[in-house]
């Protein structure tokens, strides 16, 4: 089935809105009666909401799942075009992400994982293009360059962050880490600028922006260090855990397992194409009002709505000032992610950075399509932000500009297909994965995590571990479902574990 989300372009068909996805739900609702009172309403069917809804249903609660989209997965979903999966949002997984890997083993999907990279044949090189230089090097040289740059950036304590962030799952556990959240990535670069070669600085800045999707000035240095710590304080860990392993058939195959198990419990009602407009806490329970005027009642609510979208939902009583301030600040990630299917088969072993002058600054060969073409996934950020669907010729130029024509018989690359989702214009995301500006977390992490009466707030945006990742979403959904289950057990006079 085809979701209304996403875009695809081919020379034959031009630009088309909507792409097929295994995450599309049909029928859109299984609600039998609007008069039912549920134990819990879960708002949002990304991995956090899916985990919360599944866990609550399996533990005996009567659950209603509401979602504004026509599909599951939230900011992590895949299209399936001509038998090939294009990841529209969150992509990579790893056994070092404990919550995610637990679920992969639960659903016996460990054999469904494959490596993004394949450097066995083809050009087998990395291109670095800046306004002042154009360099081609081996992948070993690429790794050495990136490792040296990232080590200089992260070495705040002589051991690459191990002392200052010793327990990354416990944010700000070490008081010495608190000042890092007042620094931007640009502040840290200024501190070490004299130690960086031009090549190191170019790949460092491009890598920072790949992580944050913001600008160097709006990227929290502490959050970057948090990611680095979660990856084991090393470049190899960074590479392994963030951008190496993915589902062969796409993220939506994984999300489906959560949803289908919840439905099979017979305790899950759901309604898609149902954006929530208002949440009222009546003391004894909650009343949820959808945009279309429908009302749903439950003892508790779990809001799995991302930070940048929470401002579109009204609350009665109003949210406390700290949470409102966090919503007003929001996170900074406005990443542009474009998939390009290219006829040049040798690019399967290619990677490249073209920065800062190109709208897409980082890209890797990510697969081979059934047609034998190379799939390259490209990322851009706020420094040269584009809306890909608004100007396809410009988007094609941004893809082509990643490659030096002289390396490819002087002809450049032949684009057979583009696939993408505009996260900045998505009303249910208003940006890509969470990445905070300086001071947001130190001032408001606990505000974001705090419940509000009978409403529990759960989202990867304020997870403690893999914050902003699929793993963080599962962490938060697990926490919220347990908290609500204990509430309901107490209300109904049941013992809880």
Query: Is 441 contained in some domain?
Result: yes
Query: Is 83 contained in some domain?
Result: no
Query: Is 366 contained in some domain?
Result: yes
What percent of the chain is modeled with pLDDT above 70?
98
Does the pLDDT value for residue 333 go beyond 60?
yes
- 289 and 146 within one domain: no
66 bridge partner residues = 43, 271
Predicted confidence band at 411 (pLDDT cuts at 50, 70, 90)?
Answer: low
Does the pLDDT value for residue 180 go beyond 60?
yes
Phi–psi pair at 150, nearest 5 degrees: -70, -35
Q: What's the domain range around 363?
A: 117-243+336-380+388-421
What percent of the chain is modeled with pLDDT above 90?
94
Rg over CA atoms, the chain:
23
pLDDT of 408: 66
Higher-scoring residue by pLDDT: 384, 344: 344
The whole-model pTM stands at 0.97
- 230 and 362 within one domain: yes
- 237 and 364 within one domain: yes
Q: How far apart are CA 473 and CA 203, in angstroms?
A: 29
pLDDT per residue as tens digits for the range 41-81: 999 999 999 999 999 999 999 999 999 999 999 999 999 99
pLDDT per residue as tens digits for the range 49-60: 999 999 999 999
Query: Is 86 contained in some domain?
Result: no
> Residue 324 in 3-state DSSP?
helix
Query: Is 320 contained in some domain?
Result: yes
With beta carbons less than 8 A apart as the criterion, state whether 445 and 230 touch.
no
* Window from 149-163, 257-271, 408-422 with minimum mean pLDDT: 408-422
With beta carbons less than 8 A apart as the criterion, state whether 487 and 495 touch.
no
pLDDT of 108: 98
Read off the CATH number of the domain in which 56 is found. 3.50.50.60
Using CB atoms within 10 A of its CB, is residue 342 exposed (0-12), middle (13-18) or buried (19+)?
buried
Helices marked H in 170-299 — which ranges?
185-192, 198-212, 221-230, 235-243, 251-264
- 212 and 163 within one domain: yes
- 125 and 17 within one domain: no
Q: Dihedral sign, CA of 117, 123, 126, 129?
A: negative
Does the pLDDT value for residue 294 go beyond 70?
yes
Encoded tokens for 389: 């669907």
Query: Is 100 contained in some domain?
Result: no
Does the pLDDT value for residue 132 go beyond 90?
yes
Strands (E), 381-454: 415-420
Average pLDDT over residues 394-415: 85
416: left (phi over 0), alpha (psi -120 to 50) or beta: alpha
| Chain mean pLDDT for the chain | 96
Q: Dihedral sign, CA of 184, 185, 188, 190?
A: negative
Counting DSSP H helices and E strands in the chain, the numbers are: 13, 21
- 266 and 321 within one domain: yes
With beta carbons less than 8 A apart as the criterion, state whether 412 and 367 touch.
no
**DSSP code of residue 406:** G
Torsion of CA 205, 209, 215, 220, to 10 degrees: -100
Element containing residue 470 per DSSP (H, E): helix 470-491
Q: How far apart are CA 187 and CA 222, in angstroms?
A: 11
CA 281 distance to own-chain centroid = 30
Query: Is 98 contained in some domain?
Result: no
pLDDT of 360: 97
- 211 and 65 within one domain: no
Read off the CATH number of the domain in which 369 is found. 3.90.660.10
pLDDT of 69: 98
Does the pLDDT value for residue 252 go beyond 60?
yes
Strands (E), 336-438: 336-342, 350-354, 362-368, 374-380, 415-420
Does the pLDDT value for residue 102 go beyond 70?
yes
> Residue 197 in 3-state DSSP?
coil
Phi–psi pair at 402, nearest 5 degrees: -70, -20
pLDDT per residue as tens digits for the range 187-204: 999 999 999 999 999 999
Predicted confidence band at 208 (pLDDT cuts at 50, 70, 90)?
Answer: very high
Encoded tokens for 473: 């979403």
> Residue 155 in 3-state DSSP?
coil
- 121 and 64 within one domain: no
- 292 and 392 within one domain: no
Total domains, the chain: 2
With beta carbons less than 8 A apart as the criterion, state whether 460 and 307 touch.
no
Query: Is 404 contained in some domain?
Result: yes
pLDDT of 383: 76
Using CB atoms within 10 A of its CB, is residue 118 exposed (0-12), middle (13-18) or buried (19+)?
middle
């Amino acid at each position: 089935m085809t979701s209304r989300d996403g875009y695809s372009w081919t020379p034959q068909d031009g630009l088309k809105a909507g792409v097929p996805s295994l995450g599309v739900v049909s029928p859109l609702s299984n609600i039998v009666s609007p008069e039912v009172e549920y134990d819990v309403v879960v708002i949002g069917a990304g991995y956090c909401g899916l985990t919360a809804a599944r866990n609550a249903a399996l533990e005996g609660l009567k659950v209603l799942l509401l979602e504004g989209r026509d599909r599951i997965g939230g900011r992590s979903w895949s299209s399936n075009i001509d038998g090939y999966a294009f990841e529209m949002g969150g992509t990579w997984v790893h056994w070092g992400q404990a919550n995610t890997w637990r679920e992969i083993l639960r659903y016996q999907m460990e054999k469904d994982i494959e490596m993004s990279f394949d450097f066995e044949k083809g050009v087998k090189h990395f291109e670095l293009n800046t306004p002042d230089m154009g360099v081609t090097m081996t992948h070993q040289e690429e790794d050495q360059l990136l490792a040296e740059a990232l080590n200089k950036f992260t070495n705040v304590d002589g051991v690459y962050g191990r002392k200052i962030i010793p327990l990354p799952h416990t944010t700000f556990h070490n008081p010495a880490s608190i000042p890092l959240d007042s620094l931007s990535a640009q502040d840290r670069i200024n501190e070490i600028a004299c130690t960086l070669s031009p090549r190191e600085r170019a790949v460092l800045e491009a890598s920072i922006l790949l992580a944050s999707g913001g600008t160097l000035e709006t990227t929290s240095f502490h959050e970057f260090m948090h990611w680095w710590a979660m990856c084991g304080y090393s470049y190899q860990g960074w590479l392994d855990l963030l951008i190496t392993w993915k589902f062969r058939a796409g993220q939506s195959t994984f999300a489906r397992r959560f949803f289908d198990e919840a439905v099979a419990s017979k305790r899950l009602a759901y309604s898609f194409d149902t954006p929530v407009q208002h949440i009222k806490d009546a003391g004894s329970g909650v009343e949820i009002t959808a945009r279309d005027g429908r009302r749903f009642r439950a003892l508790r609510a779990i809001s799995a709505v991302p930070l940048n979208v929470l401002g579109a939902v009204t609350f009665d009583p109003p949210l406390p000032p700290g949470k409102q301030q966090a919503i007003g600040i929001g996170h900074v990630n406005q990443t542009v992610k474009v998939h390009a299917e290219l006829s040049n088969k040798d690019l399967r072993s290619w990677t490249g950075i073209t920065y800062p002058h190109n709208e897409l600054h980082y890209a890797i060969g990510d697969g081979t399509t059934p047609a034998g073409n190379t799939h390259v996934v490209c990322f851009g950020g706020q420094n040269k932000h584009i809306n890909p669907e608004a100007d396809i010729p410009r988007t094609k130029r941004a893809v082509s500009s990643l490659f030096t024509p002289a390396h490819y018989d002087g002809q450049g690359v032949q684009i057979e297909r583009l696939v993408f989702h505009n996260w900045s214009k998505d009303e249910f995301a208003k940006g890509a994965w969470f990445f905070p500006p300086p001071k947001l977390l130190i001032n408001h992490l606990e505000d974001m995590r705090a419940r509000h009466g009978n409403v529990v707030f759960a989202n990867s945006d304020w997870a403690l571990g893999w914050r902003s990742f699929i793993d963080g979403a599962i962490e938060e959904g697990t926490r919220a479902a347990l908290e609500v289950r204990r509430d309901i057990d107490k209300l109904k006079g049941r013992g809880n574990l």
